[in-house]
Homo-oligomer: A and B are copies of this chain.
Amino acid sequence: MQGSSRNRQIVLRSRPAGLPTSGHFGLVESPIPEPGDGEVLMRTLWLSLDPYMRGRMSEARSYSAPVPIGGVMVGATLGRVVASRDPAFAVGDVVLGYGGWQDYAVAPGRRLRKLDPALAPITTALSVLGMPGMTGYVGLLEIGRPRAGETVVVSAASGAVGSVVGQIAKIKGCRAVGVAGGAEKCAYVVDVLGLDACVDHRSPGFAEALARACPSGVDVYFENVGGAVQEAVWPLLNDFARVPVCGLIAQYNDTTPRPGPGLSSVLTKRLTVRGFIVSDHAAAQDAFLREVSAWVRDGRIKFREDIVEGLERAPDAFLGLLQGRNFGKLMVRVAS
């Protein structure tokens, strides 16, 4: 055992209506748990913070059960094995799992994946080679189905998912147009990620600028945000456009249901609007790892991590994520 001798945990104290505040979270301490048969005890090294967590704070029907009041916030983690009752894992192994917002977590070995730190920086298992990267990969390729020469628009283009979408769109020979919040992110999307254009959704005249950036209309809109960005993209969609709906972060704090785009556009333009969750596409995992690892190695896919130090800062960092204050894949270094 190492680190503190108690297990710090960040729990959901109450359910937010609208934008959460730090008061919706609580920090508690509990004994470090013991692994049962077939289980592993992990010391959390890295905690991933992702927009989907907002959904788990609410009771509204979704694709996963909500975190109970008083329960530890869920989340993907990288951990070091500190005790193991699963012969497949040894003390010292680095594993990917869903440890949640806490210093220590116990999980069945079958729910963990051992990482080889020699192969790639381990944090990539939470970012470009992890769930966010695979989300972009399957959403764009399996649902968006971009063809060379088409125009792909991706919102939250500098983010963990969006940056992968935009760069794969370029690899596939598309015109790739990003939408991001602020000049700095937009510059990064064009100058570093290599997209053809990026439009700042906070600037006045956003809709007009987006239209200018898409002179041939939009064939794929990879939807990460919803709200005003969705409304600006919609009139630009071409006939037969595809809209993978991956996230709606601009709407997650809405307190009343927000209507969607009219079905008459879906009909007359023969749009395909399709929601997806990466876990429904597990069959693509091998292809994803093979292709995207190679693109990362070749420098064709770049990624950026936004690192926050200390578990206790996770709530504020998460609140910043909901407001677009992060820049790159947000993760918390819990221990080194």
A interface residues, Cβ below 8 angstroms from B? 55, 61-63, 223, 226, 230, 239-240, 245-248, 251, 257-264, 266-277, 280
Q: A275 to B237, alpha carbons, bound, how many Å?
A: 13
> Are A270 and B277 CB-contacts (below 8 A) given A63-B239, A239-B63?
yes
Q: Which residues of B contact A271 (CB under 8 A)?
A: 273-275
Besides A63-B269, A226-B264, A266-B275, 9 more A-B contacts (Cβ < 8 Å) are A240-B280, A246-B267, A248-B267, A260-B261, A260-B266, A261-B263, A270-B276, A271-B273, A271-B274
Structural contact, A260 and B257, CB atoms closer than 8 A: no
Q: Which 4 residue pairs are nearest across A and B when measured between Cβ atoms?
A: A259-B259, A267-B275, A266-B275, A260-B260
Q: Which residues of B contact A251 (CB under 8 A)?
A: 263-264
Within the oligomer, what is the number of copies of this chain? Answer: 2
Structural contact, B245 and A266, CB atoms closer than 8 A: yes
Q: A274 to B145, alpha carbons, bound, how many Å?
A: 15
Chain B proximity of A269: nearest CB distance (Å): 7
Q: A260 to B267, alpha carbons, bound, how many Å?
A: 12
Structural contact, B239 and A263, CB atoms closer than 8 A: no
Q: Which residues of B contact A55 (CB under 8 A)?
A: 268
Q: A251 to B263, alpha carbons, bound, how many Å?
A: 10
Q: Which residues of B contact A280 (CB under 8 A)?
A: 240, 270
Q: A257 to B262, alpha carbons, bound, how many Å?
A: 7
> Are A262 and B259 CB-contacts (below 8 A) given A270-B280, A273-B274, A274-B273?
yes
Could you give 15 example pairs across A and B, Cβ below 8 Å? Answer: A61-B268, A223-B263, A226-B263, A258-B263, A259-B259, A260-B260, A260-B266, A263-B273, A267-B275, A268-B275, A270-B274, A270-B275, A271-B273, A271-B275, A273-B274
Interface core residue of A269, A275, A277 (most chain B CB under 10 Å): A275
Q: Which residues of B contact A240 (CB under 8 A)?
A: 280
Q: A193 to B72, alpha carbons, bound, how many Å?
A: 54
- Residue in B61, B230, B269 whose beta carbon sits within 8 Å of that of A275 in the complex: B269
Structural contact, A267 and B247, CB atoms closer than 8 A: yes
Q: A122 to B153, alpha carbons, bound, how many Å?
A: 48
